[in-house]
Structure 1
Amino acid sequence: MGSQCDTLFYDGSCPLCTKEIATLRKLQRGSLMFVDIHQPDPDAGERPSQEQLLRRLHLQTGSGDWVIGLRANVRAWSHTRFGVLFKPLLWPGIYTVASRIYAAWADRRYDRKYQCAIGQSPDQS
């Protein structure tokens, strides 16, 4: 990772998410910034909707590109000395399986935590 700064958007009301962010904060090399998507941000500019940010992990690169889901997680961890351990998740074959697992986990987390808040029961599809 060069000296480029990335910004990771995370769900600050999710205990699992905040635990991982606390670990990333400790281990990162100063080139990763963090935004709790529940906190007001007057400088937010154009960014994905609140629902999109809650459904999948989002990272905005220093050049302004968006990286989403498993790729965002791998890129965030690349800001630490452990990043090399996450890179195989992007290899063909492994990525296909890992991204499906990530998507299923993320959908389940979102449905259990937020469906009632938007007026749907978790059983509705």
Structure 2
Amino acid sequence: MDTLFYDGQCPLCAKEIGTLRKLQRGDLVFADIHAQQNRKGMLPDREALLRRLHLLTGDGNWVIGLPANVRAWSHTRLGFFFKPLLWPVIYPVAERIYESWADKRYDRKYACGTCEV
């Protein structure tokens, strides 16, 4: 069973998670980053979790960023729509777009100078 860590304080993230919850087949667990306590360093640091989507696989491996998103959607019947994002020709461009969006989202929400992560 995979566990997807998400930003529960982000309206856009919450909307996507709501859709994933409805469509998934019951084998994906959702963990709001803000509700987690990092027991003995078992999780990446909070900033890393908030900057990029993180998914912990059932066998204990971390999948981060765009591949985490694709893997999360693979738990739904729509997963095949996302798989091409990992194809060698498409992945570099899709990853750059994802990282740019993720950085902007993080900066707007958490790097404003008055907010605390």
* Aligned-residue offset at 1:93: 1.6
**Greater helix proportion:** 2
Alignment RMSD (CA, Å): 1.7
Moved over 2 A (4+): 40-45
Could you say which structure has the larger radius of gyration? 1
Aligned to 1:27: 23
* Matched positions, count: 115
Structure 2 unaligned blocks of 5 or more: none
What TM-score does the superposition give when structure 2 sets the normalisation length? Answer: 0.93
Show the 5 A alignment for 1:1-125.
Answer: 5-41=1-37, 46-116=42-112, 117-118=115-116
Q: What letter matches 1:27 in structure 2?
A: L
Structure 1 unaligned blocks of 5 or more: 120-125
What TM-score does the superposition give when structure 1 sets the normalisation length? Answer: 0.87
Q: What letter matches 1:15 in structure 2?
A: P
Q: What letter matches 1:14 in structure 2?
A: C
Identity of aligned residues (%): 70
Deviations 1:99-118 (A, max 9, x none): 00000000000001101224
